[in-house]
Chains A and B, each alone.
Chain A
Amino acid sequence: MNQVNRNTKAKGVNRRQFLAASAKAGCAMGLLGLGVTGVAKQSSHLDPLAIRPPGALTEDDFLSACVRCGLCVEACPYDTLKLARWFEGAPTGTPYFTARTVPCEMCDDIPCVKACPSGSLDHSLTEIDESKMGIAVLIDEKNCLNFKGLRCDVCYRVCPLIDEAITLERQHNQRSDHHAMFLPTVNSDSCTGCGKCEHVCVLEESAIRVLPAHIALGKTASHDTYINTEETTLEMLNKGLTL
């Protein structure tokens, strides 16, 4: 490089030097760019369980938009939101929360979304009950007390959308053959993913957990027609169609 600089000062840049220097710098920067992109892409999958604030765009869009300013974190009155750190999973500097530690309190005025300057938290979200931070999943039926026939019900009682997002489904208790079991059941259409159920679960490790929607939910293929099976079948029978 010194050689190049000295020559440059003496005679100005000739074409060969210019092309060589540009090619070197271009290659170095190209490699650096690939490296940075690689790190970024990979670390965005390190912690797929990090729950984003209300109104967050889908993870890829969120990572395009978020400038990592922390305004949502400072707007949160319950210290729910944190900025992610290096070596700890979620992409560094982006907001997330851990429901088991501090769940979302679902403020009516949604201050975190209002504070977001980048729109990575969608400002069209005005009703907190409409938010989709994640989906609660009763992940461990074996250890859940209600599945043992007890009436723990804590996750159901604490749910801000009680009887909508979590219902208790009554079932015969096979074990005693005498009593009923009330099974906490999440309705994924209503669940906001606030994480209060995960927060309060009385077990040492929570039996119910909030997962990001893309992990918690299945999806029917777009060509599948059994979405409304009963109607479709009747229609086919009436019209005499065959499969």
Chain B
Amino acid sequence: MNSNMSNTTTPRFAQAAIDELGWWRAHKFLFLRRICQLCVLLAFAIGPWFGLWLLKGNLSSSELLATIPLSDPLATLQVLMTGHWPELSLLLGAAIIALFYLVAGGRVFCSWVCPVNLVTDAASWLRRKFHLPRTSEMPKNLRYYLLAVVLLIPLFSGIAAWEWVNPVPVVYRAILFGAGSGLWILAAIFLLDLFISERAWCGHLCPTGAMFALLGKASPVKVSAVNAKDCDNCMDCFEVCPERQVLKPALKGTSPMITDSDCTQCGRCIDVCAQRVFQYQNRIALKAENNQ
């Protein structure tokens, strides 16, 4: 972790930002995200571990403080597509979660809550570390096709089949309910991302991410390239961004705001930029300010 290592031919990734801002500030949002992911997991886990029931259930459906229902909108939609009319609490829970991510910013779920994020981030970190060659990428819109398939299966088969293989609840099931044998799905995703296709799962396929991306279209919270004029084309943000295609319009286009809802708002571009080009912005607050 010291700078001696970087004196060789190729400079280390994001070295400029580390030199400019210090190691901690160059990893600020990465750490905040890991803490957030851990806190959500712990909020569930202290129940079965210590009998402190803050949140019961798992990411598919849960109950906050034994009163407020929360549920995965995708799981709820699948249930509705089978033709089964669920209890009100499931519908209410899905509405609350949908509303929350509508305001907080769609794919914020992917980068700040979802445990699969750790797996795909680890794979892409390894790719970077070992300078693995770029692989061909799948088409970005594949996830919307998969989302459609996931919602159509229950219509025809009458069962919510996606929940058999859905990797999002797997970690929580393993930790909270001891059902660890489902972790093979995550191992498969890790290998897919590492060796076959970059960012294949979270960046191209995941239907949960696709659903949150659709929700996030209306969200006011966005990352913005406010100092785009300072950009020195070092490409560090492109290197680290899980959804590279969202950066170019913001950096080189007319509007600095990353409005593409594929952006997971992970904030890594903010971290690794020595020029401090990016920051989080609130669209609505900004508009109100401009109108004054």
Residues of chain A whose beta carbon lies under 8 Å from any beta carbon of chain B: 1-2, 4-5, 21, 25-26, 28-30, 32-33, 36-37, 39-41, 43-44, 60-61, 63-71, 73-75, 82-88, 91-93, 115-120, 123
Least distance between A52 CB and chain B CB atoms (Å)? 15
Indicate if the CB atoms of B158 and A36 lie closer than 8 Å: no
Indicate if the CB atoms of B177 and A70 lie closer than 8 Å: yes
A32-B141 Cα distance, complex, nearest whole Å: 16
A14-B180 Cα distance, complex, nearest whole Å: 47
Q: Most chain-A CB neighbours within 10 Å: which of B56, B76, B176?
A: B56
Could you say which of B148, B163, B169, B177 contacts A73, with CB atoms under 8 Å apart? B177
Least distance between B57 CB and chain A CB atoms (Å)? 4
Indicate if the CB atoms of A36 and B139 lie closer than 8 Å: no
Indicate if the CB atoms of A117 and B90 lie closer than 8 Å: yes
A1-B138 contact, Cβ under 8 Å, with A64-B83, A65-B79: yes
Indicate if the CB atoms of A83 and B86 lie closer than 8 Å: no
Indicate if the CB atoms of B163 and A93 lie closer than 8 Å: yes
Q: Does B184 contact A (CB under 8 A)?
A: yes
13 intermolecular pairs with C-beta atoms under 8 Å apart = A1-B136, A25-B142, A29-B148, A33-B150, A60-B159, A67-B60, A85-B179, A93-B60, A93-B164, A93-B179, A115-B63, A117-B61, A119-B85
Q: Interface readout for B103-139 with A: 1 if CB under 8 Å, 0 if not?
A: 0000000000000000000000000000000001111
**Nearest 7 CB-CB pairs, A to B?**
A69-B61, A64-B82, A40-B161, A117-B90, A33-B149, A83-B177, A69-B57
B residues 140-182 touching A (CB-CB < 8 Å): 141-142, 145-146, 148-150, 152-154, 156-165, 169, 173, 176-177, 179-182
Indicate if the CB atoms of A36 and B159 lie closer than 8 Å: no
Least distance between A82 CB and chain B CB atoms (Å)? 7
Indicate if the CB atoms of B56 and A68 lie closer than 8 Å: no
Indicate if the CB atoms of B57 and A74 lie closer than 8 Å: yes
Q: Most chain-B CB neighbours within 10 Å: which of A43, A64, A69, A84?
A: A69
**Which residues of chain B come closer than 8 Å to A119, judged between CB atoms?**
84-87, 90
Could you say which of A63, A70, A85, A123 contacts B182, with CB atoms under 8 Å apart? A85
A146-B159 Cα distance, complex, nearest whole Å: 43
A30-B157 Cα distance, complex, nearest whole Å: 13
A25-B90 contact, Cβ under 8 Å, with A63-B160, A64-B84, A70-B58: no
Residues of chain B whose beta carbon lies under 8 Å from any beta carbon of chain A: 47-48, 53, 56-58, 60-63, 69, 71-72, 75-76, 79, 82-87, 89-90, 93, 136-139, 141-142, 145-146, 148-150, 152-154, 156-165, 169, 173, 176-177, 179-182, 184
Least distance between B170 CB and chain A CB atoms (Å)? 9
**Which residues of chain A come closer than 8 Å to B136, judged between CB atoms?**
1-2
Indicate if the CB atoms of B182 and A93 lie closer than 8 Å: yes
Indicate if the CB atoms of A123 and B87 lie closer than 8 Å: yes
Indicate if the CB atoms of A74 and B87 lie closer than 8 Å: no
Indicate if the CB atoms of A74 and B69 lie closer than 8 Å: no
A71-B62 contact, Cβ under 8 Å, with A25-B142, A83-B173: yes
A123-B85 Cα distance, complex, nearest whole Å: 12
Residue of B nearest to A81 (CB): B177
A37-B86 Cα distance, complex, nearest whole Å: 22
**Which residues of chain B come closer than 8 Å to A41, judged between CB atoms?**
157, 159, 161
A74-B71 contact, Cβ under 8 Å, with A25-B141, A37-B153, A93-B173: no
Indicate if the CB atoms of B164 and A88 lie closer than 8 Å: no
A32-B182 contact, Cβ under 8 Å, with A64-B79, A64-B82, A117-B93: no
A60-B139 contact, Cβ under 8 Å, with A68-B163, A69-B71, A93-B173: no
Could you say which of B149, B160, B182 contacts A30, with CB atoms under 8 Å apart? B149
**Which residues of chain A come closer than 8 Å to B173, judged between CB atoms?**
68, 70, 83, 92-93
**Which residues of chain B come closer than 8 Å to A87, judged between CB atoms?**
181
A118-B161 contact, Cβ under 8 Å, with A65-B84, A85-B182: no
Indicate if the CB atoms of B159 and A44 lie closer than 8 Å: yes
Indicate if the CB atoms of B82 and A85 lie closer than 8 Å: no
Indicate if the CB atoms of A74 and B47 lie closer than 8 Å: yes
Indicate if the CB atoms of A86 and B48 lie closer than 8 Å: no
Indicate if the CB atoms of A33 and B152 lie closer than 8 Å: yes
Least distance between A193 CB and chain B CB atoms (Å)? 23
Least distance between B289 CB and chain A CB atoms (Å)? 35
Least distance between A14 CB and chain B CB atoms (Å)? 16
A1-B138 Cα distance, complex, nearest whole Å: 7
Indicate if the CB atoms of A64 and B161 lie closer than 8 Å: no
A85-B61 contact, Cβ under 8 Å, with A33-B152, A119-B85: no
Least distance between A227 CB and chain B CB atoms (Å)? 31
A67-B86 Cα distance, complex, nearest whole Å: 10
